[in-house]
Structure 1
């Protein structure tokens, strides 16, 4: 059971809830603080205090006062008018993370909502309902207005959801699970949509998947080293110790551990004096990629426990303050930075693919083909990898350097953080396919070298991956291999590549 306090949620907690279906509950202490915070809002309304978004319009309409009898309609109109998302919906996991993060942010007790509203979010999560939320339409300030409005619709029994693998109207799902739509009170609509939970949810999923993929890229690179008789001296601990980057030292240590019993790697001067950079500099490059991931973890951990609402209600001091915590710049920068690590993981992998298939760079059969000339082997797999890497380079352009004014120039600087996060996730998916292609080529290469000479860890990786993709004995439709292996890498538990999950397409 994950208990929401508003300030103690971890990335591991999110994984347990969204991927392992652990239940969520609201902390009793926080429930009391939330009730007090709501009471403060009610008292201020009775005092006729002017409060943005509570008894005024929104954005450029902030100077328009709203009559008391219209306050609930104001919140409903807000959700309906702001539900302008377009495009394909987010993956169900991302939608569920958004629900969890919104509940956690409101649980801090600075947003002036009722506990019932937060409980509705938790109930939706616990029964396995995921809102259908279009991916496009957010500027990343004032928060993720459009995506979160589609989330808010579900609380009201409107919009669409995913439930038990089917897309349906929200009321149909509610009837199946016994949930009842709620009505919004003053402030509650704004509290639901003023935040960074869309970009942060995409960022969290990207982080969790990238962490796993980096471990897998190291294991794949180690197998490539065996296929190319890579030189182990460049991974000596002293080499990396004297530079001092912790992540670089850790990558080198893991490669040494993976290949410690390999009979296929070589020593300096045994076959050649040194390897090309894509082999020799694996720790330096992937170590830097790990640095971008660690930075992302630090900032995401802060943001998943952040109050990103506006205005904020401080009950102890009887204050209502309009601020800008909804601005997504910290996450926009974070995701743009992480994109560099994702891009370079693919970039160096594609160059190793080239070294595996190019007969001018190795002594393996040309393009790893069983019958070079008659059969093309892995020739066009390298093309696909190159295409994915090039696409990543265009997506790596920082979204955060762009801004378009909105709401009649009242909201005149925005973060584009959700675009940055979406691009990072798209790049991750491209990179996973590049790693899959390298793994296919590396497996073929070690077969020529002798799999009985492989290290124990790479041999186990080879055997499990061979269950997904058979050896290349003749040309076939390699697209199926690439997608199968990429799916397997995605569904494997952490770096435990021995765990086979998901469906595998077979050859007819």
Structure 2
């Protein structure tokens, strides 16, 4: 789907949702009128400062070469040498949506006016996004202290030294000092982070719908979701989760009575477990919102004070720690989904045959779904391990800390894929149980969710392979997330 709206790129106010629209719907980006003027001021200031004093990466080498002064006679070639040496990524190429996200984020950061790059770099990025020209960007080469390899590949592609993956632009001149100013960013990690956040947020939204379907299949007690209960301990995520379940489970405001005095934890404690994941996702969005609009280049070329500031804003510990927390929270949510799946195949709780089987005695029904779900849960458990417990010491000992935020994001992608399988298994079981019991669903969006599920998932009574249906359920989750 193409988004025909325009997103202004000004260096401020870019949201995660905007980046997703550019990356996946090809929304139109438009530079704000003052962005190029601000970039021009920064560029002129950077040139002036470089003529007066040492400025890291402009008049010197980088890393442990920080005190090595660049020969002014070869300054024109210093930037290209820096880009050529750093454009050394490897691994699989980033997908097109991630590359578009990188370009949009880096354009917005440059529009904030702290890099000192020549304005033509901003114009080139904006043009590339507009015409669909995409550099080839490799995935491996970042440790959370700047996406140097990925951004050097983009810069060299703009310069005409590397081939375009799609489309093309005329080669761009790289000014002295542009090289480090352009690659001094974590835009590639942030791009993958935004897309990972988006996908997981949608899956967490679908979790409310799937849990509500299971609730109806098991005849749950909605007392646990009472507004009074959650006002007594008002953690934001838990309050929000309970409100979502009330919205899905009742049209008139009266919560349904349950079959039991107290439900298993999978239903009763769902807001208390889902809530931390919702809060963690909101915290990730806040962190990303700051970094998307940050003038974090080292050095910072500050127009207001007319100074160059050397600093450590390249560190992405905030991003790494936020994603580590999010994955840990997600693991608890996934554990609860497997618990509810276990409840659905238990006759004492469902009132239906063991494993929701409909064949002759001894039929296995959906028994295998528990194996599949717990396999995925095991994958998620490994992916949830914190990446922030390690570090790196490089560049002759000068750079002695790394957040590995890139790996935290990619572990989140793996965890999200595993959770999608876990939740799909629960969805299959819940829909099967509701069909078998002929349960009447409340006149809320949950009824529409069940209608979509019935239209997408076949009901086959006898034992049969479930692989295709698991895949169908995984794809259905995105549609359920918007209900």
Q: What's the TM-score once normalised by structure 1's chain length?
A: 0.88
1:389 equivalenced with 2:371 (yes/no) = no
CA RMSD in angstroms, aligned pairs only: 2.1
> Which ranges of structure 1 fall in alignment gaps of 5 or more residues?
164-172, 498-508
Mapping 1:371-390, distance limit 5 Å: 371=359, 375-390=363-378
Per-residue deviation at 1:362?
3.6
Sort the Cα spacing of 1:111 and 1:350 in 2 relative to 1 into closer, same or farther, 3 A: same
- Residue 98 in structure 1 maps to residue 127 in structure 2: no
Q: Tell me which of 468, 472, 475 is aligned to 1:484.
A: 472
Deviation string, structure 1 residues 220-248 (Cα, Å, up to 9, x no partner): 00000111111122212111111122321
Structure 2 distance, partners of 1:317, 1:311, is: 14
Q: Which residue of 1 aligns with 2:434?
A: 446
Question: 1:422, 1:373 → 2: CA distance?
Answer: 45
Structure 2 vs 1, CA of residues 366 and 84 (structure 1 numbering), >3 Å: closer, same or farther? farther
> Corresponding residue for 2:21?
16
Which sections of structure 2, spanning at least 5 residues, go unmatched?
1-5
Q: Which aligned pairs between 1:67-216 and structure 2 lie closer than 5 A?
A: 67-141=71-145, 143-159=146-162, 161-163=164-166, 173-174=167-168, 179-216=169-206
From the superposition, tell whether residues 372 and 306 of structure 1 become closer, same or farther in structure 2 (CA, over 3 Å).
Answer: farther
| 1:5 corresponds to | 10
Question: Does the Cα contact within 8 Å between 1:134 and 1:147 map onto a contact in 2?
Answer: yes
Q: What residue is the counterpart of 1:35 in the other structure?
A: 40
For 1:35-74, what aligned pairs fall within 5 Å after superposition?
Answer: 35-45=40-50, 47=51, 49-74=53-78
Are 1:292 and 1:340, in contact at CA under 8 Å, matched by a contact in 2? no
1:260-318 Cα distance to aligned partner (Å, 9 max, x none): 159xx9525xx321100111111111112111111111111111111121111123333
Q: Measure, in 2, the Cα distance between the counterparts of 1:120 and 1:342.
A: 39
1:314-366 CA distances to partner (integer Å, 9 max, x unpaired)?
A: 23333222211111111111111111232222221111111112446543222
Are residues 1:460 and 2:464 paired?
no
> CA, structure 1 residues 292+215, in 2 after alignment: closer, same or farther (shift >3 Å)?
same
Aligned equivalents of 1:455, 1:158: Cα separation in 2:
61
Equivalent residues of 1:342, 1:424 under 8 A apart: no
Match of 2:242 among 237, 241, 252: 252
For residues 205 and 359 of structure 2, the distance between their equivalents in structure 1, rounded to whole angstroms, comes to 33
- SS of structure 1 residue aligned to 2:210: helix
Aligned mate of 2:277, from 261, 265, 289: 289
Shift of the 465–134 alpha-carbon distance from structure 1 to 2, 3 Å rule, reads: farther
Q: How many residues matched? A: 476
| 2:481 maps to which of 492, 495, 504 | 495
- Contact 2:158–2:171 at 8 Å: present in 1 too? yes
Residues 144 and 186 of structure 2 are in contact (CA less than 8 Å); yes or no, is this contact kept in structure 1?
yes
- C-alpha deviations, 1:175-199, integer Å up to 9, x for none? xxxx212121122121222112122
TM-score by length of 2: 0.93
Structure 2 contact 328–385 (Cα < 8 Å) conserved: no
C-alpha change, 1:413 and 1:212, in structure 2 (3 Å) is same
What is the CA distance between 1:88 and its match in structure 2? 2.2
CA–CA distance in structure 2, aligned partners of residues 112 and 105 of structure 1 = 11
Compute the displacement of 1:26 (Å): 1.5
